[in-house]
Amino acid sequence: MPDITTEQGVYVNPAGEFTRDQRYIASRITRDGRDGYPVEAGRYRLVVSRACPWASRAVIVRRLLGLEDAISMAIAGPTHDKRSWTFDLAPGGIDPVLGYERLQQAFFKRFPDYERGITVPAIVDVTTGEVVTNDYPQITIDMSLEWRDHQRPGAPELYPEALRPEIDEVNEVVFKDVNNGVYRAGFAGSQEAYEKAYTRLFDRLDWLSDRLADRRYLVGDTITEADVRLFTTLVRFDAVYHGHFKCNRQKLTEMPVLWAYARDLFATPGFGDTVDFDHIKRHYYEVHRDINPTGIVPAGPDLSGWLTPHGREALGGRPFGDGTPPGPVRADEVVPREHTAEG
């Protein structure tokens, strides 16, 4: 594990408002290979950390669509230093497919002078060892659209054409106010910037509660990309965002509609079975030393509530539409029981 006490990054913006660098590597893996990266089973490796909400989107979508055999997955450890995520969970600390100790190596292999963040999720071309993309919003969309020929029978439509405008609209406001909103609160460097982000976050959560009060899913009557993107923030809310990021008007467990909605998704194959609460807590509390200087990881919260009945079936809806649930998690990708709500 990297020595994060001496090689930590700085996350809080001392000037006030936190602004996320969204300059990602825009290369895409497509059927026609127009960027030089054609869809090809076995050629690419998805690098993730279960701690990261952005990476968790790709983990969920890959599982829902049954792309495990087409796109292999490397799971980095829950912490990183200012240089890179590391493969400290792998035997000898070396990813067995890429032969790398750090994700940084794949970025530098393609861009020797790369100066931006080494982020997950990232997709690496196994044939060259070079990173292809870390453009996380596009990665999951392309899994749905470009990788269709390699999806499992019964894979759901997560980005159906008729609903794309509405999905995109919901995704945009949820990203600004919720997905990124918790970070804008947590990394704010002034009282004014924090309170602005806090207000936007809870105003949007209230809006989402109203939207979901009489409908099971965010857009249409099936699970879509929009639900995946909201879930990865909600599942981290009480464990880290409520305390660590000072998003403390209410806990998720105190917001009845969103709590039931989150439990509904958590109980759905492909969602809760990918969540590692241990990695989530260790990442935020150990890495963000400018917020939590001691690096102490809280023992709570009690996770057993995630396993309680949610009652959302009464709203109808068809989780997978005309498709089917994914099968069991691959043996080499099972989250350790002690890291789950059952642990």
Catalytic residues, by residue number, are: 52, 183
Edge-to-edge strand list for the sheet holding 72-76: 72-76, 44-49, 122-125, 130-133
Inter-residue contact 272 to 341 (CB < 8 Å): yes
Q: In the beta sheet, which residues pair with residue 133?
A: 123
DSSP state of 77: -
Within 8 A by CB and 6+ apart from 117, the residues are 21
Report the C-alpha gap between 170 and 159 in whole angstroms. 13
3-state secondary structure of 106: helix
119 touches 131 (CB < 8 A): no
Instruction: Tell me if 150 sits within 8 A of 142, measured CB to CB.
Output: no
Alpha helices per DSSP H over 134-273:
136-145, 164-174, 181-186, 191-212, 225-236, 256-266
Q: How many CB atoms lie within 10 A of CB 211?
A: 14
> Tokens 């609903």 belong to which residue?
163
Instruction: Give the C-alpha separation, 300 to 100, whole Å.
Output: 34
